Amino acid sequence: MKSGKTGLYEDLKRQILTMELDPDQVLDEVTLSERYGLSRTPVREVFRRLEGEGYLDIRENRGTRVIPMNHSTLRNFFLVAPMIYAAIGRLAVQNFTPAQLEELKQTQQRFRQASVERNPLALSLENNRFHEIMGEMAGNPYLKPSLSRLLIDHARIGHTFYRPRDQDMEQRLDLSVEHHDEFIEAIARHDENRVVDLVFEHWELSRANMQLFIAPQALKADSLVEGPLS
75-99: per-residue pLDDT in tens?
A: 888 889 999 999 999 999 999 999 9
**pLDDT value, residue 213:** 62
pLDDT reading at 59 higher than 50: yes
Query: Cα separations (Å) of 205 from 165, 168, 211?
Result: 15, 11, 11
- The mean of the pLDDT values for the chain is 89
Q: Is the pLDDT of residue 217 over 60?
A: no
Q: pLDDT-derived band of residue 71, with 50, 70 and 90 as boundaries?
A: confident
Per-residue pLDDT tens digits for 161-213: 888 888 888 998 999 999 999 999 999 999 999 999 999 999 888 776 676 66
> What's residue 75's pLDDT?
85
What is the reported pLDDT for 99? 98
Instruction: Choose the most confident range, by mean pLDDT, from 59-63, 65-69, 164-168.
Output: 65-69
CB 85 within 8 A of CB 44: no
Cα–Cα distance, 4 to 8 (Å, whole number) = 6
- Cα separations in angstroms, 131 against 87, 127, 166: 13, 6, 26
